[in-house]
Structure 1
Amino acid sequence: MRYAHQNNFHGFSLSSESFRRFLGILIFTSYHSLPSEKMYWCTDDDVDIQIVRNCMPKNRYLEIKRFLHFANNDNVANGVPGKDFKIKPLIEKLNENFLKLNVFSKQLSIDEQMVRYYGGHFLKQFIKGKPIRFYGFCYNIELYQGKKDLVEKDLIGVGEKVITSMVYYLENPEDHELYFDNFFSSFRLISLLSKKKCVLLEQPNSIVSISVR
């Protein structure tokens, strides 16, 4: 509501129930796609989606979407670091809730995933041939923000930094098997993970066979 008030829309309010309905529509429209967002409120026979129309009026949905903010824009002038400052509270909340269910899987994959996006944004990248796939259950996510701070004072590389930061959230690393590709691999990383008693599995076509416990 702060963003609406900052833009002189002082009559805007949002209850927890309205926000849950808004999220429900977002989830529904993510797998039930139509050419236009506004068509979900269309009453034509071929696109009549009563579950959406009965959930929330179109103008109310668009109003919430317009004013939805997860961070205070006033903090930008105060030097808040990070290109992800607008959604960082959301990512932190997601990671917090992921860990509430604990890391229940023995096999864990640490890899990068792409989010399909056609708008304009400074974090947007084009990687030819990179598949858009979502599967499994996340226990932690980090948003890639470019090459800044990839190498720290102790010369930890980007691959080592990603893997070690993910392993940090494992209560008992020795209970899991880690899967990641050659982009993240290094001898020092293998040494670090072996000290944590992580299980590393060799690639079937690798030249050197490595099995560390």
Structure 2
Amino acid sequence: MAISSNCTKQSFPGNIFKLFFDENLVGEIVNFTNIYAQQKNRPGNVTVDEMYCFIGVLLFSGYTTVLRRHMYWQNCNDTQNKLILAAISRGRFQIIMSNLHCSDNTSLDKKDKYSKLRPLFKSLNKKNFDYAPVEENHSLDETMIPYYGRHSGKQFIQGKPVRWGYKFWVGTLRLGYIVYFDPYQGASTTIPDKYKHLGLGASVVLQYVNVLQKMPYQPFHICFDKFFTSLSLLKKLKLRNIKATGTIRENRIPQSPFSNAAVLKKKTRGTFEWSVADNEIDLCKRNDNSVVTLASNAGSVLLANKVKRFSQAEKKHVYRSASIDQGIQRKYGRCRP
């Protein structure tokens, strides 16, 4: 079911928000919040309306920031916000903030670092799936949520725009709509037994495929990067009628037939070499901004499309073939026309 079937262009953002944070979900959060307050001998009388106001303040604070949260309620013209002041008092906001919970602390899964948020994640994933537009092309990658405090699930990834924070696996559509997400838990991540022999990256892809194949439309085409890609994964996806394309580490190609990257880098931009692995996986090594190797179970390397890019040499935008750009062809084994 797509969002477009439930909403029109005239829909208020609040109505769209409530498709995902409906009264059932917010009611559960209110229930767990009140349970935690009672466990701490505090008054547990938070209501659904107050919780919606609380979430609204959090969203509002994301684009209108002050040095300290309580400044929204100060009697100062430069910090006081009348919208927040009319919605919820500072005292009620602080009570909810100090007791906010999405699950019952007495029944947590100790093996799951995100067990306190797992009910919220499951609900949002279900809503994301239910309202996802039906499209063929999907992307699966990692994303970082900035966080600098202490938590056993926090990750550090050097070279990323956001180096410290929570790492999530995220499956999206072409325009960025999130269909599925799941937090990465580091060394304690549990890989399903049936995917262990394929490794972590492949298991993430296959778990996403399990979600996609519940949709009525098939087949799908998934794109991902070299962390996930392997020949065994592409073969397994092909057996499940899933198209897949991704960059691949060359050490994952047995007896790689390609030239050294340093040699290919000296060739004309667009030069590429291609091959077919096991008569079913197309491989291509191409000199673009850098030398990159790709693998696909979805089609031929020679089915080129024109793309627009800026040429530094010509100082203008040019249209060149996505697969062949004044390039050379080196054939290994059987090729596909």
TM range (shorter): 0.7 to 0.9
Match runs of 1:1-213 below 5 Å: 1-9=34-42, 11-76=43-108, 80-132=110-162, 136-148=176-188, 149-150=190-191, 152=193, 154-170=196-212, 171-172=215-216, 174-201=218-245, 205=286, 206-207=292-293, 210-212=296-298
Which residue identity lines up with residue 91 of structure 1 in the other structure?
Answer: F
Q: 1:209 to 1:4 in 2, by over 3 A?
A: closer
- In 1, are the aligned partners of 2:243 and 2:297 still within 8 Å (CA)? yes
Compared with structure 1, are the counterparts of its residues 75 and 26 closer, same or farther at alpha carbon in structure 2 (3 Å cutoff)?
A: same
Partner-residue secondary structure (3-state), 1:139: strand
After superposition, the Cα gap between the structure-2 partners of 1:164 and 1:63, relative to the gap in structure 1 and judged at 3 Å, is same
Q: Is the 8 A contact 2:198 2:233 kept in 1?
A: no
Aligned length: 209
Instruction: Give the TM-score normalised by structure 1.
Output: 0.87
> Alpha carbon RMSD of aligned pairs, Å?
2.4
CA drift at 1:129? 2.3
One-letter code aligned to 1:181: D
Q: Looking at both structures, which has the greater relative contact order when contacts are Cα pairs under 8 Å and sequence separation is at least 6?
A: 1
Deviates more, 1:35-44 or 1:159-168: 35-44
Aligned 8 A contact 1:108 1:179 in 2:
yes
Change (3 A) 1:208 1:75: closer
**1:167–1:173 CA contact under 8 A, matched in 2:** no
Q: Deviation at 1:208?
A: 5.5
Shift of 1:202: 5.4
1:183 corresponds to which letter in structure 2? Answer: F
Residue pair 1:70, 1:87 contacting (<8 A) in 2 also: yes
Pair 1:129–1:34, CA change in 2 (3 A): farther
Q: Quick check: 1:173–1:197 contact (8 Å CA) kept in 2?
A: no
DSSP 3-state at the match of 1:5 = helix
- Any conservation in 2 of the 1:174–1:199 contact (CA below 8 Å)? no
Deviates more, 1:55-64 or 1:11-20: 11-20
Q: Report the alpha carbon displacement of residue 169 of structure 1 after superposing the two structures with TM.
A: 1.2
Structure with higher Rg: it is 2
**Contact 2:128 2:180 (C-alpha < 8 Å) held by counterparts:** yes
Q: Which amino acid aligns with 2:81?
A: I
Structure 2 regions of 5+ residues with no counterpart? 1-33, 163-169, 248-284, 287-291, 300-337
Pairwise CA distance, 1:103 = 4.4
Greater percentage in strand:
2
Please give the secondary structure, in 2, of the residue aligned with 1:155: helix
Return the letter of the residue paired with 1:142. D
Counterpart Cα distance in 1 of 2:242 and 2:216: 9
Relative to structure 1, the CA distance from residue 34 to residue 156 in structure 2 (aligned partners, 3 Å threshold; closer, same or farther) is: same
Distance apart, 1:173 and its partner CA:
6.7
Identity value in percent: 27
Deviation at 1:8, TM superposition (A): 0.8
Q: 1:145 to 1:12 in 2, by over 3 A?
A: same
Equivalent residues of 1:40, 1:48 under 8 A apart: yes
Shift of 1:172: 5.0
Query: Cα gap change, 1:58/1:125 in structure 2, threshold over 3 Å: closer, same or farther?
Result: same
